[in-house]
Amino acid sequence: TQRVAILISGGGSNMVSLVNAMTSDHPARPVLVLSNDPEAGGLAKARALNVPTFAVDHRPFGKDRAAFEAALQDALMLAKPDIICLAGFMRILTPDFTRHWAGRMLNIHPSLLPKYKGLHTHQRAIDAGDKIHGCSVHEVTAELDGGPILGQARIAIQSDDTPETLAAKLLPLEHQLYPAVLHRYVTGDRRMVTLGA
């Protein structure tokens, strides 16, 4: 079975959906949940699911991303993951880090990539007058939110939607999409997963 490390920064609802999907018959299992925020709510959720956790607080490293990432790598080397899933991990990773894990690292992003890389994706979709919004799971490369897309889920935008209502509508689809893509990915199946409207 493939060993999966999940990197989080916040509540970790996508992490929970990934862990819950990795049942005993699944070709992968969670070996570590790693956070850059020692206070992240997802850490307690991971512990409740019996997944080992670790935090590398990014703040003492200041602008030194290389040193922060060296500490991440130390934690990862102990857990020996085959695959890394970024799940609401809100630190930008350097090309050195993404190169090291090339072909072995996935991310979920709350937009229909290649639209709206970066932050504030729901607001930007509303501002653009989009009728359709969604989320994407992609392979991580050096280009932020720019790697090959492996799956997407779509929702309709209504005229009264706000960034908050869109986020709330999209999250349950994220929770379906990410485990579905991970399952295909660990079995070497690179066909796109498509969900929703």
Q: Enumerate the active-site residues.
A: 109
Residue nearest to ligand GAR (CB): 88
CB of 186 to ligand GAR, least distance (A): 20
Contacts of 146 (CB under 8 A, 6+ apart): 113, 114, 117, 138
Of the pair 10, 163, the CB lying nearest ligand GAR is at 10
Please state, in angstroms and as integers, the Cα–Cα distance from residue 106 to each residue in 23, 93, 138, 168, following that order. Answer: 20, 13, 6, 22
> What whole-number distance in Å separates Cα of residue 173 and Cα of residue 134?
8
Q: Which stretch binds ligand GAR (CB under 6 A): 4-12, 18-26, 52-60, 158-166?
A: 4-12
**Tokens in use for 3?**
């060993």
- Mark 9-48 with x for binding to ligand GAR (rule: CB under 6 A) and - for no binding: -xxxxx---------------------------x------
Compare residues 58 and 109 and give the one whose CB is closer to ligand GAR: 109
Sheet holding 132-139, edge to edge: 53-55, 28-35, 2-8, 83-86, 105-109, 132-139, 149-156, 193-196
Among 31, 34, 87, 112, binds ligand GAR (CB under 6 A): 87
Q: Give whichever of 12 and 196 is closer to ligand GAR, judged by the CB atom.
A: 12
Cβ closer to ligand GAR: 78 or 197? 197
What are the angstrom distances between the C-alpha of 116 and each of 15, 139, 187?
Answer: 22, 16, 29
Tell me the closest approach of the beta carbon of residue 15 to ligand GAR, in angstroms: 6
3-class secondary structure, 122: helix
Token pair listed for 55: 């935090």
Interacting residues with ligand GAR (CB under 6 A): 8, 10-14, 42, 87-88, 90, 108-110, 135, 171, 174
